[in-house]
């Protein structure tokens, strides 16, 4: 195996990718060095993130160069090995890209271990997508027994795992999927408690019906109008692992008026944790600690403060209105009793 086929990025798409953005070409394999492994690609995983790699917009990962091999993970068979960890016939997983074969460092390959499941699962349910669902739920979503977990793209590798893991902890799994066939699969085969078709006209209403107690964990895979429907259903203290925004991936330039897509995109790409809170959530348990810690520092002048004191209750409205325009300077307080 000296010549392989590969698909390179011919041009960057604007909006939806088209076949013209790709080029199939023959190329010579490079000479294998010490530590390299020569592989024949058996399966290539296609994943939504690849749309991002086709773009040179700022992202968490570098774009594929024009003329470069499209990125992707593959399941391969080792043909020759100059790496002590691998031998001919081994089935491995690696990021060879969209190609029929590669010479690749053995250090970045991993032997496929699927516990008897087909080797394709190494790039699916037992690979990156399955792990994505597992880790997003474990570390961010944290579903509890009795809670409602909703996920879109529910028939896909990430979503299908999310719902099934939710069921395992005793949560109610609500799937959102596109079309009756996918919905039937999610409910009947995957065992979700309920599923709604986001392509139906009464999607938002249907979502309300199947989440009567609201949603405690929404595993965000798509964004767009699905998010609009989910947002009002989120309960207090709901958790939203922002995993993917596939509805935005083909999007045009950012809107000057609608900042939601860029906000969601920043949350995803920079792993932002945005968590609202009302102080009463903590006060009962922590106020005394706060007072004991900060009170002496204020009294000692270590922590400084400023007050803006207005005389007379009758001046309260004006002071209040002024505060909303920034006229106060320091903590605005009304001195109601002149003798105080
Ligand atoms: N953060 C991470 O590390 C990470 C890792 C892996 C995947 N992801 C993300 O997780 C998400 C799911 O990935 P996957 O591999 O499991 O994908 P997938 O389900 O195999 O494919 C994407 C699905 O998204 C749905 N979809 C596409 N456009 C949509 C739109 N405009 N509105 C609503 N739904 C739309 C479609 O399903 P329906 O027809 O059912 O709507 C489509 O089949 C993606 O956003 C992906 O980028 C993130």
More confident residue, 249 or 41: 41
Task: Give me the mean pLDDT over the 197-213 stretch.
Answer: 97
Question: What is the tens place of the pLDDT at every residue in 4-15?
Answer: 999 999 999 998
pLDDT at 278: 85
If one residue of 184, 200, 222 were mutated to test the ligand 1 pocket, choosing by the most ligand atoms within 8 A of its CB, it would be 222
pLDDT at 275: 87
Q: What CATH number belongs to 128-276?
A: 3.40.50.720
Question: What is the tens place of the pLDDT at every residue in 262-280?
Answer: 899 889 988 999 888 888 8
Answer whether 69's CB lies under 8 Å from 142's CB. no
224 lines ligand 1 (CB under 6 A): yes
Atom of ligand 1 nearest to the CA of 225: 32
- 3-114+306-335: CATH superfamily: Medium-chain alcohol dehydrogenases, catalytic domain (3.90.180.10)
153 lines ligand 1 (CB under 6 A): yes
Whole-number Å distance, alpha carbon 132 to ligand 1 midpoint, is 12
47 lines ligand 1 (CB under 6 A): yes
Secondary structure E strands in 168-260? 172-177, 194-197, 215-219, 234-239
Task: Give me the mean pLDDT over the 303-321 stretch.
Answer: 94
∠ CA(244), CA(52), CA(217), 5° rounding?
Answer: 5
pLDDT at 258: 87
Question: What is the tens place of the pLDDT at every residue in 116-149?
Answer: 999 999 999 999 999 999 999 999 999 999 999 9
CA distance 97 to 50: 11
Question: What is the tens place of the pLDDT at every residue in 64-73?
Answer: 999 999 999 9
Atom of ligand 1 nearest to the CA of 242: 1
Whole-number Å distance, alpha carbon 220 to ligand 1 midpoint, is 9
Is the model's pLDDT at 201 over the cut of 90? yes
Q: How confident is the model at residue 18 (pLDDT cuts 50, 70, 90)?
A: very high
First to last CA, the chain: 92
Task: Give me the mean pLDDT over the 202-210 stretch.
Answer: 98
Task: Give me the mean pLDDT over the 194-222 stretch.
Answer: 97
pLDDT at 255: 78
DSSP state of 117: S
Q: Is 208 left (phi over 0), alpha (psi -120 to 50) or beta?
A: alpha
CA distance 302 to 314: 35
DSSP state of 198: T
Task: Give me the mean pLDDT over the 32-56 stretch.
Answer: 95
Domain boundaries, the chain: 3-114+306-335, 128-276
Task: Give me the mean pLDDT over the 82-92 stretch.
Answer: 98
pLDDT at 274: 86
- What's the whole-model pTM score? 0.91
For the chain, what is the mean pLDDT? 94
């Amino acid at each position: 195996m000296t010549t392989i086929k590969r698909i390179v990025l011919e041009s960057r798409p604007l909006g939806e990718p088209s076949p013209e953005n790709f080029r199939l070409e023959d190329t010579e394999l490079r000479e294998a060095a010490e530590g390299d492994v020569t592989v024949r690609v058996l399966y290539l995983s296609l994943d939504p993130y690849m749309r991002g790699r086709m773009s040179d917009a700022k992202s968490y990962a570098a774009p594929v160069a024009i003329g470069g091999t499209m990125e992707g993970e593959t399941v391969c068979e080792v043909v020759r090995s100059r790496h002590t960890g691998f031998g001919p016939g081994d089935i491995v997983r690696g990021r060879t890209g969209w190609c029929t074969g590669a010479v690749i460092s053995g250090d970045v390959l991993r032997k496929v271990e699927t516990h008897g499941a087909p080797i394709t699962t190494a790039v699916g349910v037992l690979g990156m997508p399955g792990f994505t669902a597992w880790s997003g739920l474990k570390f961010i979503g944290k579903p509890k027994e009795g809670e409602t977990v909703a996920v879109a793209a529910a028939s896909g590798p990430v979503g299908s795992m999310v719902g099934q893991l939710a069921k395992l902890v005793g949560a109610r799994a609500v799937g959102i999927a596109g079309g009756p066939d996918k919905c039937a699969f999610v409910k009947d085969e995957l065992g979700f408690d309920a599923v709604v078709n986001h392509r139906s006209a009464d999607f938002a209403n249907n979502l309300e019906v199947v989440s009567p107690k609201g949603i405690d964990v929404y595993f965000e895979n798509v964004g767009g109008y699905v998010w609009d429907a989910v947002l009002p259903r989120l309960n207090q203290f709901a958790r939203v692992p922002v995993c993917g925004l596939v509805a935005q991936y083909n999007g045009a330039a950012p809107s000057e008026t609608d900042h939601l897509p860029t906000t969601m995109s920043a949350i995803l790409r920079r792993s932002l944790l945005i968590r609202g809170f009302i102080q009463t959530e903590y006060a009962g348990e922590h106020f005394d600690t706060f007072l004991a810690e900060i009170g002496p520092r204020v009294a000692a002048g270590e922590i400084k403060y400023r007050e803006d004191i207005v005389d007379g209750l009758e001046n309260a409205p004006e002071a209040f209105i002024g505060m909303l325009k920034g006229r106060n300077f320091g903590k605005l307080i009304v001195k109601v009793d002149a003798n105080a």
